[in-house]
């Protein structure tokens, strides 16, 4: 499973909007316990203080939302600690996405609006206020104060702005929404990595309309900016954008809580069951095959001790005519840097804890393509310590005048009817050609081999309302975070059941990348989550 979710630990809407009398502002109000948050900008609803005509209707009313997420700490479920424990990858191998969910309502929507996401630069209290209509719940944080007795550096919250300087400042993200009902899915990897590195404290982030979309206001009107909370913004909009509502962390909807998702490609691509001899029909990258060494100790993957730079070495041998074992001098293989058969050892690297890989090409003449080969892993070029001996059966690529579109039948062979919400099972697929038609002899004498789909993906959804819980994580922008792994036994994936709400039925579907496009498979597999 290559996705972990971190739910917000604090959120709050802060505002300088007028109360119903259009005289008193709600700058001291707190909405930290509300199950929704909201963003709006209202221009010219009331008269500027000291004016009596419509020409004075240049007032500014704004709301912004604050969020904080569990980044730093020592307990499970905190991003930095999960990285330390190896539960999420190192920087550069994982993306972090801000996920905020639209809350439908019957009020006016902000069309064609741009939003800004910035890191908050001061600490703040969430508060316990609920009233988002009359602004009767006073407390901190609010528009003017971040905590009891402590004001913001500027009304409306203090944020990191300016150009992003890694290790010094935070990035700013801008998002445009056309309809006002869209959800937010924003790659904030750089911001989260700054929090993890500890270059600046994690005070969360703020979401607001961009400056040019927040309402116009000129401090030259002579209004006491500190008291009213109006912000000098002469480049602002002289129209209103309201109201964008989002579910808060207190919502009853399990899958709608504001969160950060860590996504990465954790798939293993072991070609032991799908190994090809090099062919002039393919380029060097396509001719590369990868073999894996899994070092299980008492059922757990652990690194091999006393390795130099975590390197193991691989040799490939032909088989003995007498017994099923490596024989003779190791074969010539290469790593793909140049298409020559000149390297006797391929250096294997550490993929993750206890898993080692080696990628290489294997060239042979038509008359010398052996049906079975043996891979021998050792501790170094001169080491006599052998860690593992395996075998594989290389295939030959053939050209074709046609480009068939295969169809498959898929099944999760070890899926249970129900799981606990703390399980993380490894689910195995069996895949065969849809049009496979064995005869009686084949049925009686041949074990059916599973097809290996090298680019396969899964999604998870709630059956009752088709809510997509885990989407197909395809494409480079998502780092293929739901790509299935494969080995000699076929495709598989791990599913972290803690992502799912208990007492509900879920479905799993698959999409295979075939002939340059994603093809969703017809089968659906169902299971329940129990506490």
User: Rounded mean pLDDT of the chain?
Assistant: 88
pTM: 0.89
The whole-number pLDDT of residue 69 equals: 97
DSSP designation for 285: H
Residue pointed to by tokens 């840097």: 337
For residue 319, the SS3 value is strand
DSSP β-bridge partners for residue 37: 246
Backbone angles phi, psi at 284, to 5 degrees: -60, -45
Tokens (6 digits) for 275:
């190994």
Q: Provide the pLDDT for residue 339.
A: 38
State mean pLDDT over 481-500: 95
Of the ranges 53-57, 124-128, 241-245, which one carries the lowest mean pLDDT score? 53-57
pLDDT classification of 226: cutoffs 50, 70, 90: low
For residues 50-54, give the mean pLDDT. 59
The answer to whether 140 touches 66, Cβ cutoff 8 Å, is no
What backbone phi and psi angles, to 5 degrees, belong to 270? -90, 110
**Three-class DSSP category at 88:** coil
Per DSSP, the residues of 43-85 read ESSSPPTT--SGGG---EEEEEEEEE---SSSSTT-HHHHHHT
pLDDT band at 308 (very low <50, low <70, confident <90, very high): confident
Whole-number pLDDT of residue 404: 74
pLDDT at 342: 44
Do the Cβ atoms of 46 and 59 come closer than 8 Å? yes
Confidence of residue 23 (pLDDT cuts 50, 70, 90): confident
Is pLDDT above 90 for 278?
no
Please compute the mean of the pLDDT values over residues 377-389 and round it to a whole number: 81
Cα separation, 196 vs 201, in Å, equals 9
Cα distance between residue 272 and residue 60, in whole Å: 66
Say how far apart CA 484 and CA 265 lie, in whole Å: 9
The Cα 523–Cα 509 span in angstroms is 7
Give percent of the chain above pLDDT 70: 89
Tell me the pLDDT tens digit for each residue of 153-170.
999 999 999 999 999 999
Between strands 184-187 and 36-43, the pairing is: unpaired
DSSP strands (E only) in 369-503: 373-378, 386-392, 408-412, 418-420, 426-433, 456-462, 468-470, 485-487, 490-494
pLDDT at 65 over 70: yes
Give the model confidence (pLDDT) of 311-368 as tens digits.
898 888 887 666 677 777 777 776 654 334 444 677 888 888 899 999 988 887 655 6
Percent of the chain with pLDDT over 90: 66
Among 166, 177, 162, 167, which Cα is nearest to 118's? 162
The yes-or-no verdict on residue 497 having pLDDT over 60 is: yes
Of 8-17, 122-131, 321-330, least confident by mean pLDDT is: 321-330
> Among candidates 291, 230, 315, 241, which has minimal Cα distance to 26?
230
- Higher-confidence residue: 349 or 212? 212
Write down the pLDDT at residue 281.
84
Residues forming beta bridges with residue 206, ordered by sequence position: 66, 118
User: What is the C-alpha to C-alpha distance for residues 520 and 523, in angstroms, rounded to an integer?
Assistant: 9
The continuous run of DSSP H or E covering 247 comes out as strand 241-247
Say if CB 522 and CB 499 are below 8 A apart. no
Query: What contacts 24+ positions apart, CB below 8 Å, involve 357-360?
Result: 357/290, 357/291, 357/292, 357/293, 358/290, 358/291, 358/293, 358/312, 358/314, 359/288, 359/289, 359/290, 359/291, 359/335, 360/288, 360/289, 360/314, 360/316, 360/333, 360/334, 360/335, 360/336
- Determine the distance from the C-alpha atom of residue 71 to the mean position of all C-alpha atoms in its chain, rounded to a whole number: 15
* Per-residue H/E/C for 226-241: HHHCCCCECCCECCCE
Other C-beta atoms lying within 10 Å of the C-beta of residue 82: 18
- Confidence at 131, pLDDT banded by 50, 70, 90: very high
Per-residue tokens: 30:
């707190």
Report whether 57 contacts 49 (CB < 8 A).
no
> DSSP readout, 377-410?
EESSTT---EEEEEEE--B-----S------EEE
Q: What pLDDT score does 309 carry?
A: 86
Which tens digits make up the pLDDT trace of 448-461? 789 999 999 999 99
CA dihedral (220, 225, 230, 236) positive or negative: positive
Q: Does pLDDT of 445 surpass 60? A: no
pLDDT at 521: 97
Q: Is 222 exposed, middle or buried (0-12, 13-18, 19+ CB in 10 A)?
A: exposed
* More confident call, 2 vs 337: 2
Cβ neighbours, 10 Å, residue 519: 15
The pLDDT confidence band at residue 471, using thresholds 50, 70 and 90, is: very high
């Amino acid at each position: 499973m290559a996705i972990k979710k971190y739910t917000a630990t604090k959120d709050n809407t802060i505002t300088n909007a007028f109360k119903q009398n259009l005289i008193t502002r709600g700058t001291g109000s707190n909405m930290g316990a509300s199950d929704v948050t909201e963003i709006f900008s209202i221009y010219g609803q009331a008269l500027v203080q000291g004016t009596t005509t419509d020409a004075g209707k240049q007032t500014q009313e704004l709301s912004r939302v604050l969020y904080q997420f569990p980044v730093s700490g020592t307990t499970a479920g905190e991003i930095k600690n999960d990285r330390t424990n190896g539960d999420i990858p190192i920087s550069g191998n994982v993306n972090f996405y801000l996920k905020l969910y639209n809350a439908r309502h019957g009020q006016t929507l902000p069309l064609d609006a741009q939003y800004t996401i910035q890191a908050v630069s001061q600490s703040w209290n969430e508060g316990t206020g609920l009233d988002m209509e009359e602004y009767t719940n006073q407390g901190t944080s609010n528009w003017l104060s971040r905590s009891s007795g402590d004001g913001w550096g500027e009304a409306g919250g203090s944020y990191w702005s300016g150009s992003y300087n890694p290790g010094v400042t935070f990035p700013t993200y801008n998002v445009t929404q056309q309809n006002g009902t869209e959800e937010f899915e924003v790659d904030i990897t750089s911001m989260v990595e700054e929090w993890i590195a500890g270059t600046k404290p994690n005070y969360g982030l703020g979401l607001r309309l961009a400056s040019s979309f927040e309402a116009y206001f000129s401090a030259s009107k002579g209004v006491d900016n500190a008291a009213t909370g109006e912000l000098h913004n002469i480049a602002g909009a002289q129209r209103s954008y309201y109201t964008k509502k989002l579910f808060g962390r207190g919502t009853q909807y399990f899958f709608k809580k504001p969160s950060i998702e860590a996504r990465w490609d954790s798939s293993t691509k072991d070609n032991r069951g799908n190994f090809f001899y090099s062919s002039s029909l393919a380029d060097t990258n396509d001719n590369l095959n990868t073999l894996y060494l899994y070092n299980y100790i008492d059922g757990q993957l652990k690194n091999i001790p006393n390795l130099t730079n975590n390197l193991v070495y691989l040799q490939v041998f032909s088989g003995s005519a007498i017994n099923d074992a490596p024989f003779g001098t190791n074969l010539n293989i290469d790593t793909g840097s140049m298409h020559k058969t000149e390297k006797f050892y391929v250096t294997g690297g550490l993929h993750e804890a206890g898993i080692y890989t080696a990628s290489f090409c294997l060239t042979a003449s038509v008359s010398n393509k052996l049906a079975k080969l043996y891979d021998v892993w050792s501790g170094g070029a001169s080491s006599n310590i052998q860690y593992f001996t395996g075998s594989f059966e290389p295939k030959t690529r053939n050209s074709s005048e046609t480009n068939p579109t295969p169809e498959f039948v898929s099944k999760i062979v070890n899926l249970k009817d129900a799981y606990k919400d703390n399980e993380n099972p490894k689910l195995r697929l069996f895949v065969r050609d849809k049009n496979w038609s064995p005869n009686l002899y084949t049925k009686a004498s041949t074990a059916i081999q599973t097809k290996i789909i090298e680019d396969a993906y899964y999604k998870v959804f709630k059956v009752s309302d088709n809510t997509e819980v885990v989407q197909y994580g395809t494409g480079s922008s998502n780092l293929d975070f739901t790509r299935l792994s494969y080995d000699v036994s076929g495709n598989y994936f791990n599913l972290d059941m803690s992502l799912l709400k208990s007492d509900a039925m879920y479905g799993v579907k698959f999409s295979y990348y075939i002939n340059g496009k994603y093809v969703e498979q017809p089968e659906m597999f169902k299971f329940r989550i129990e506490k």
